[in-house]
Amino acid sequence: MWQVIREDWRDIFKRKTWYAGHTASLPTFRNGGPIYTLDALIPAFQRLEIEEIVISNCSELQNLDALKHLPLLKEIRLYDCAGLQNVDGLKALTSLRRLVLIDCTSLESVDSLHGIASLREMEIAGCTNLPPGSVSALETALPNTRIMGRASR
C-alpha cells in the first residue's frame, strides 16, 4: 500500500505543480479526518521546489499560513475553498506573480496582500465575506497588479 502512495505522490509533483481536486485529495491524519492547513505538506513542497499550487473544493482548508515557507511559489489558484478565512501566509511570498481566489466564501480579508510587490495578476470572484472596498483597496496598494473581478457581497 505505501509503495502505491509513494508512486502517486511522485506523479503529483512531476511538474512543480501541486493539484488538489477536492478534500479527499488532501492527506488525512491518524484520525482519518481532513486537514485544515497545509503544514504537513511543506517539507515535501520545499524538497520539490513547488512553483504552483492549485486547490479546489477543499472546504476544510482554513488558512495558507504554511505557504510562507515556500519562497519559490509563483502561482496559487484556489477554487471553492469555502473554509478559507485568511491569506495572511502569502505576504512573505516574494516570487508570487499570480493569485486566483474564486468562491472562497469565508475569506474575511485580503489586506495582507498589499505588500506583495511581485504580484502581477490577481483574479477574485465570489469571495462574498470580504468587506466592501477590499478589492478597490488592493488596486490602490498594488498599482502594478492587474486585478480582475470583484468580491461581490
Nearest to 50 by CA among 86, 83, 19, 4: 19
Please check whether residue 52 is in contact with residue 93, taking contact to mean a CB–CB distance below 8 angstroms: no
Domains of the chain (ranges, CATH numbers): 2-148 (3.80.10.10)
Q: What is the pLDDT of residues 123-148, one digit of tens each?
A: 999 999 999 888 889 888 998 889 88
The DSSP symbol for 127 reads: -
Q: What is the pLDDT of residues 86-102, one digit of tens each?
A: 999 999 999 999 999 99
C-alpha cell at 127: 469571495
Task: Give the pLDDT of residue 151.
Answer: 60
pTM over 0.85: no
Half-sphere exposure of 36 (CA within 13 A, CB side): 5
Q: Which residues contact 142 (CB under 8 A, 6 or more apart)?
A: 113, 114, 116, 117, 119, 122
